[in-house]
Chain A
């Protein structure tokens, strides 16, 4: 698991065991916040890794990824309102994020 606590709107978790390194999420990510790892994982794949900053929580990488749970997208809960901004969790709304 890669989890870098940055104060961005979004956050990515990538399961490097499930990832097969196809690169579709890297292509899909609008702010280009995903990189390919230098190292191979346990199964011999280079995998996607979160760059550590820049995620907007749009969720597009999740829908581009062919693996059920390799990517988890999180979105910030604001301290003031205590709610998730941009409540539309679907990719269609997220495309405008």
Chain B
């Protein structure tokens, strides 16, 4: 070509439109990124921005940022941005894509975020074949936190947590995420690329674009693993770091396509968008129920209610239900309520308790550490919480004899064999409602109508509803029999 023919110059490579002109969300130095000189993230960001530009999807792209050095994707990309909790980007991206099927949802994660903390999320998102794109930037180390070993750290690679170099004996082997995910049936495209030299960068560029394009076509889950650099933590120049990717990292993590089902994949029929809010009561089967409405003005008796209740017993005794009925009744009466269950992993027999607050004032904490009323459904529960009852408070105890060593001068006690009472009424399992009946005599201000409404909402079986109503009445009678003056 003859240089005399050159008339003018035109831009062929320049700042992507998907980047902000100026990074105004960044507190300082808004004209450049926060990345260290030579950081691979900057290069991958540019690939992604270029793909978004070329596919013309800037207005419908949602980028889900990770925790790690690249946490600030929202500083740079002029697209929709969400920043997920550590490792959870695939779960967040799933929700985004399902609720906004028209959006192009791209997860961006580092190797600590994706392969350690978020190992479960990526595995299942890939297995479900979510129609999302994941850019997985692997630099074989936790960089932002100062260079701890990651699942991807190479054998022999030194880190602050493997100062002698990673040993398979103690730290296991470098995790091959792409190969691992490629064994699943869900993904349509998985490729590992690198930033090791010009050729690798060119290929990485193509792969990133392809992964985004797959989603635009609706084909399904695509993941691009990029072997990236961290000159700072690796303690290398940017150029040496680049060579290290090509000469060392690639030995452990071979580049290539590990899964490509794009030819067989058919554009997916998008899932129905999430139901609108007004459909949810119907879906939950509670559409025909009247929801409690906050009373405009509370009666004086209700206004005075300020309950701090702890209910404790064995799992299966109805501890949580007792608390729930109480809280639901409070809600119906227009009070502020909280109900906080606390139980072990056992469905039956383990210990179980719940914290219940009812108040006309805003509840500052759902924790009830010093209850005004303790409902102890067995002796171990009594012993566990007896001392926490506030002076002037009440203990309702399921047992004929109150253990003498638990007696306190400043606490009033109603100790009765409630299980036996319930058994006599028809079923020992109604013990919780007998005890609740006694409790309601202490919390006198709660209207019976609210209690009936709560029971109606929570007890579906008519036989049980009738029994529970009898149990409540019996509990009230027993209390009045013992404390006629209260």
A and B bound?
yes
Binding site for B on A (CB under 8 A): 7-11, 15, 17-18, 20-24, 26-28, 30, 43, 45, 57, 59-60, 62-80, 82, 84-85, 89-92, 95
- B317 to A: closest C-beta gap in Å: 62
Judging by beta carbons under 8 Å apart, are B45 and A68 in contact?
yes
Judging by beta carbons under 8 Å apart, are B9 and A77 in contact?
yes
| Max chain B C-beta neighbours (<10 A), residue from A22, A26, A72, A74 | A22
Chain B contacts with A in 203-223, Cβ cutoff 8 A = 205-206
B238 at the interface (CB under 8 A from A): yes
Judging by beta carbons under 8 Å apart, are A21 and B12 in contact?
no
Total cross-chain contacts (CB, 8 A): 140
Binds A, one of B32-40, B83-91, B440-448, B452-460: B32-40
- B470 to A: closest C-beta gap in Å: 73
B3 at the interface (CB under 8 A from A): yes
Judging by beta carbons under 8 Å apart, are B49 and A68 in contact?
yes
Judging by beta carbons under 8 Å apart, are A8 and B76 in contact?
no
**Contact residues in B for A60 (Cβ distance below 8 Å):** 198, 201-202
B80 at the interface (CB under 8 A from A): no
A69→B202 CA distance, assembly (Å): 18
User: Given A22-B37, A69-B14, is A74 in contact with B9 using a C-beta cutoff of 8 Å?
Assistant: yes
If A15-B31, A66-B42, A91-B202 are given as contacts, then 14 extra A-B residue pairs at C-beta distance below 8 Å, sorted by A number, are A7-B4, A11-B9, A17-B32, A59-B13, A62-B14, A62-B46, A63-B47, A66-B37, A67-B33, A68-B76, A76-B7, A77-B9, A82-B7, A92-B206
Chain B contacts with A in 8-23, Cβ cutoff 8 A = 8-16, 19
User: Given A28-B198, A43-B29, A91-B205, is A66 in contact with B35 using a C-beta cutoff of 8 Å?
Assistant: yes
Judging by beta carbons under 8 Å apart, are A78 and B6 in contact?
yes
B1 at the interface (CB under 8 A from A): yes
Judging by beta carbons under 8 Å apart, are A63 and B7 in contact?
no
Nearest B-chain residue to A19, judged by Cβ:
B32
Nearest A-chain residue to B49, judged by Cβ:
A68
A91→B39 CA distance, assembly (Å): 20
Judging by beta carbons under 8 Å apart, are B13 and A71 in contact?
yes
B199 at the interface (CB under 8 A from A): yes
Binding site for A on B (CB under 8 A): 1, 3-16, 19, 29, 31-33, 35-43, 45-47, 49, 76, 198-199, 201-202, 205-206, 231, 237-239, 242
Q: Which of B15, B40, B231 contacts A69 (CB 8 A)?
A: B15
**Contact residues in B for A23 (Cβ distance below 8 Å):** 38, 237-239
Q: Which of A67, A73, A85 contacts B1 (CB 8 A)?
A: A85
Judging by beta carbons under 8 Å apart, are B13 and A63 in contact?
yes
**Contact residues in B for A15 (Cβ distance below 8 Å):** 31
Q: Which of B6, B9, B12, B238 contacts A22 (CB 8 A)?
A: B238
**Contact residues in B for A24 (Cβ distance below 8 Å):** 38, 238-239, 242
**Contact residues in B for A71 (Cβ distance below 8 Å):** 13
User: Given A17-B32, A45-B37, is A59 in contact with B5 using a C-beta cutoff of 8 Å?
Assistant: no
A7→B4 CA distance, assembly (Å): 7
Judging by beta carbons under 8 Å apart, are B198 and A78 in contact?
no
| Max chain A C-beta neighbours (<10 A), residue from B14, B16, B198, B239 | B198
Q: Which of B5, B49, B201 contacts A78 (CB 8 A)?
A: B5
- B209 to A: closest C-beta gap in Å: 9
Nearest A-chain residue to B21, judged by Cβ:
A69
A66→B242 CA distance, assembly (Å): 12
Nearest A-chain residue to B35, judged by Cβ:
A66
Nearest A-chain residue to B15, judged by Cβ:
A69
**Contact residues in A for B242 (Cβ distance below 8 Å):** 24, 27
**Contact residues in B for A22 (Cβ distance below 8 Å):** 37-38, 231, 238-239
**Contact residues in B for A67 (Cβ distance below 8 Å):** 32-33, 42
User: Given A45-B37, A64-B43, A77-B6, is A92 in contact with B202 using a C-beta cutoff of 8 Å?
Assistant: yes
19 A-B pairs whose Cβ atoms sit less than 8 Å apart in the complex: A7-B4, A22-B38, A24-B239, A26-B239, A27-B239, A64-B201, A65-B43, A66-B33, A68-B15, A68-B16, A68-B19, A69-B15, A70-B32, A75-B12, A77-B6, A78-B1, A84-B10, A85-B1, A95-B198
A10→B32 CA distance, assembly (Å): 25
- B38 to A: closest C-beta gap in Å: 3
Judging by beta carbons under 8 Å apart, are A66 and B198 in contact?
no
| Max chain A C-beta neighbours (<10 A), residue from B3, B46, B205 | B46
Judging by beta carbons under 8 Å apart, are A76 and B6 in contact?
yes
A85→B32 CA distance, assembly (Å): 31
**Contact residues in B for A30 (Cβ distance below 8 Å):** 198
Nearest A-chain residue to B33, judged by Cβ:
A67
**Contact residues in B for A7 (Cβ distance below 8 Å):** 3-4, 6
A79→B206 CA distance, assembly (Å): 32
